[in-house]
Chains A and B, each alone.
Chain A
Amino acid sequence: DAGITQSPRHKVTETGTPVTLRCHQTENHRYMYWYRQDPGHGLRLIHYSYGVKDTDKGEVSDGYSVSRSKTEDFLLTLESATSSQTSVYFCAISEGRSDGYTFGSGTRLTVV
């Protein structure tokens, strides 16, 4: 979907290094989310944002932090990457909290 883009699409990083994933939207939606998808676990919410500088934890937030300094950008940071954080990360946006989400194309992160 052209209204939401994730970067990078693929990344390989070493254990212990910091990593930042970016989500950018052009829809001016209030809500933004970060999910990870893993085999056998489906989509699990890491963090979400309900406005500029307003964020909250999701189901699997340990080891992750987020920031939202502008409506259009939502950053996910792994302060010190671990192998358990190897996953596919999806960003999503929505107008209202319970509205349907629009997902980005994902970032495949490998921690070696």
Chain B
Amino acid sequence: DQQVKQNSPSLSVQEGRISILNCDYTNSMFDYFLWYKKYPAEGPTFLISISSIKDKNEDGRFTVFLNKSAKHLSLHIVPSQPGDSAVYFCAASGQGNLIFGKGTKLSVKP
């Protein structure tokens, strides 16, 4: 049973526009959430995280929003750039190992 769900396998966005990647979770004990970015033939790299005591965390063009009541988080990329084209994994933990979603492949068109 998936505890972390990324329901969109892919997303295509025009360069300069906003990319919104979504993630849902089922375990209310999760208290730490992360986004990882993965290019082909490379390992995932950490992008941004958020603790459950916050509802927003921003780092440059990347912002993560957490809605605890809905058990939903989203990653906003503004403005999107072609170099952002990658697979994005959402991950969550609650004092245990990180649990990853299946990933969303983002394509940013020039």
Contacts and interface: CB of A to CB of B under 8 A. Distances in A.
A102 interface: yes
Interface string B84-100: 00000100011111101
A44 B89 CA distance: 12
For chain A, which range describes its interface: under 10, 10 to 19, 20 to 34, or 35 or more residues? 20 to 34
Interface in A58-112: 58, 90, 92, 97-98, 100-106
A90 B100 contact: no
Contact of B97 (A1, A33, A100, A104): A33
Contacts of B89: 42-43
Contacts of B98: 98, 101
Contacts of B103: 42-43
Contacts of A106: 41-43
A44 B97 CA distance: 11
A56 to B, nearest CB: 9
B101 A42 contact: yes
Interface string B17-43: 000000000000000101010000111
26 contacts: A1-B43, A33-B97, A40-B102, A42-B6, A42-B102, A43-B44, A44-B100, A48-B97, A90-B43, A90-B44, A92-B43, A97-B97, A98-B32, A98-B93, A98-B94, A98-B97, A98-B98, A100-B46, A101-B46, A101-B98, A102-B46, A103-B43, A103-B44, A105-B42, A106-B41, A106-B43
Given A43-B103, A97-B97, A105-B41, 14 more contacts: A33-B97, A43-B44, A43-B89, A48-B97, A90-B43, A90-B44, A97-B95, A98-B93, A98-B94, A98-B97, A100-B34, A100-B49, A103-B43, A106-B43
Q: Which 3 A-B pairs have the closest CB atoms?
A: A103-B43, A42-B102, A43-B100
